[in-house]
Amino acid sequence: MKEKIAQEGDKVKLHYTGKLQDGTIFDSSINNKPLEVYVGRGELITGFENAIIGMKEGDIKSITISPQEGYGMHDPRLIKDVERKYLPKNINPKIGMQFQLGEQENTTIVTIIDVTSSHIKLDANHPLAGITLLFDIEIIKIE
């Protein structure tokens, strides 16, 4: 039987560990169920998806993903000052707090990056925007 090679349209089960350049792990499927994705559907960041294509079951690969092929470059236009009066009264804003803005399918996750007595500063960039990422990938199964 011919060895299956991951290509667009395939369902792939894999394990991964994502790290920052200093070695800090920011995400991993190890000790959990393998991640299941369909290659070519945009379910993954571009650099990760491109790395899977051409791998075989049992293959292990370490890759480096530039911000452009990851979560994009950090965009200062996505940082906004908002008056605190627009926040729900039950929210006590703190730096690092995240919440969702928008309705139904048109939502954005924002992070509070500064708090003053009158305003909060929101950042709608992905937390990993502008960062080079390292991934270890192991292909478990290709369907």
pLDDT digits (tens, 9 = 90+) for 33-65: 999 999 999 999 999 999 999 999 999 999 999
Tokens representing residue 63 in the block = 């890759």
Q: For position 105, what pLDDT does the model report? A: 78
Domains of the chain listed by start with CATH number:
11-72+128-142 (3.10.50.40), 76-123 (2.40.10.330)
Q: Is the pLDDT of residue 82 over 90?
A: yes
DSSP 84-104: GGGS-TT----TT-EEEEEET
What distance, in Å, lies between the first and last C-alpha atoms of the chain? 14
pLDDT, tens only, 102-134: 887 788 889 999 999 999 999 999 999 999 999
pLDDT at site 101? 83
pLDDT of residue 86: 86
pLDDT of residue 100: 87
In terms of residues, how long is the chain?
Answer: 143
Q: Which residues are within 8 A (CB) of 32 and not within 5 positions of it... i.e. 6 or more apart?
A: none
Specify burial of residue 6 (Cβ count, 10 A radius: 0-12, 13-18, 19+).
buried
Radius of gyration of the chain (CA): 19
The reported pLDDT for the residue numbered 27 is: 96
Q: How confident is the model at residue 94 (pLDDT cuts 50, 70, 90)?
A: very high
pLDDT of residue 1: 60
| Cα 18–Cα 19–Cα 25 angle in degrees, nearest 5 | 90
